[in-house]
Chain A
Amino acid sequence: MAGMCCEVNLAETETSAPVEPSSRSARRRRMEIHQFNFVPTDSAVAPPLETRGKRKRQKFDAVVPVLQPPRKCGKAARSCEEDDEKVNNSHLPGEVEPEKKQLRLPAAETTPVSELDVARDCPKFGMTSVCGRRRDMEDAVAIHTSFAGANPNFPSGMHFFGVYDGHGCSHVATRCKDRMHEIVKDELQTGGSSSWERTMFESFLKMDKEVGDWCSGGECISACRCELQTPQCDAVGSTAVVAVVTPDKVVVSNCGDSRAVLCRNGVAIPLSVDHKPDRPDELNRIQEAGGRVIFWDGPRVLGVLAMSRAIGDNYLKPFVISEPEVTVTERTAEDECLILASDGLWDVVSNETACGVARMCLQSRKPPSPPRSPGNDMSVTVAGESSDKACSDASILLTKLALARHSTDNVSVVVVDLRKSS
Chain B
Amino acid sequence: MAASDQSKDACYYQEWMNLQEEELSELNQATNGCTSNVELSSLIDKIMSHFEDYMKQRTLMARADVSPYFAPTWCSSLERSVLWIGGCRPSSYIRLIYALCGIEIESQLTEFLHGVRLGSLGQLSARQLSMVDELQRKTIREERSLSTRLASLQEDLLDNPIATMAVAASGGGGGGGSSDNVEAALDKHGHSMTAILEEADRLRLGTVKEIVRILTPRQAVDFLAAGKKVRLCMQEWGKKRDLDHGRIN
Binding site for B on A (CB under 8 A): 1-2, 4-6, 8-9, 11-12, 14-23, 26-27, 29-31, 34, 88-89, 92-93, 96, 126, 128-133, 135, 137, 353, 356-357, 360, 364, 392-393, 396-397, 399-401, 403-406
Q: Which residue of B lies closest to A411 (CB)?
A: B133
**Is B128 among interface residues, defined by CB-CB distance under 8 A?**
yes
In the complex, chain A residues whose CB is within 8 Å of the CB of B129: 128, 130, 396, 399-400
The residue from A34, A132, A357, A400 contacting B113, defined by CB atoms under 8 A apart: A357
**Segment with Cβ contacts to A, from B73-81, B163-171, B208-216, B231-239:** B208-216
Most chain A CB neighbours (cut-off 10 Å) among B91, B113, B120, B214: B120
Report B197 CB to chain A, min CB distance, Å. Answer: 22
Q: Mark B102-123, 1 if CB is under 8 A from A, else 0.
A: 1111100100110111111111
A-B contact pairs, 5 of them (CB 8 A): A12-B128, A26-B119, A133-B95, A399-B129, A403-B102
Q: A130, B117: Cβ atoms under 8 Å?
A: no
The count of A-to-B residue pairs whose CB atoms sit within 8 angstroms is: 154
Interface contact B219-A19, CB-CB below 8 Å = yes
Q: Are B105 and A88 in contact (CB under 8 A)?
A: no
Which listed residue, B37, B106, B113, B214, touches A405 by the CB 8 Å rule?
B106
Which 5 pairs of residues, A with B, have the shortest CB-CB distance? A404-B102, A18-B120, A15-B125, A404-B105, A130-B133
Q: A30 and B121 in contact (CB under 8 A), knowing A357-B109, A396-B129?
A: no
The CA of A124 and the CA of B115, in the complex, are separated in Å by 22
A16 lies within 8 A of B125 (CB): yes
Centre residue among A8, A22, A128, A406 by max chain B CB count within 10 A = A8
Contacts of A404 in B (CB 8 A): 98, 101-106, 122
Query: Interface of chain B, helix or strand or loop or mixed?
Result: helix
Q: Tell me the bound Cα distance from A26 to B44 in angstroms.
A: 23
- Kindly state whether residue B6 has any CB partner on chain A within 8 Å: no
Decide yes or no: A92 and B123 within 8 Å by CB, A4-B213, A12-B128 being known contacts: no
CA distance A364 to B112 in the complex (A): 10
User: Known contacts A8-B127, A360-B115, A405-B106; can you find 16 more A-B pairs with CB under 8 A?
Assistant: A2-B45, A5-B41, A6-B37, A9-B216, A12-B127, A15-B119, A19-B219, A19-B222, A26-B120, A353-B109, A396-B126, A397-B121, A403-B101, A404-B98, A404-B104, A406-B102
Residues from chain B with a CB closer than 8 A to the CB of A400 are: 101-102, 105, 121-122, 124, 129
Please, which residues of chain A bring their CB within 8 A of the CB of B91?
135
Q: Is the CB of B126 within 8 A of A392?
A: yes
Q: Which residues of A contact B127 (CB under 8 A)?
A: 8, 11-12
| Closest Cβ–Cβ distance, residue A50 to chain B (whole Å) | 28
A8 touches B213 (CB 8 A): yes
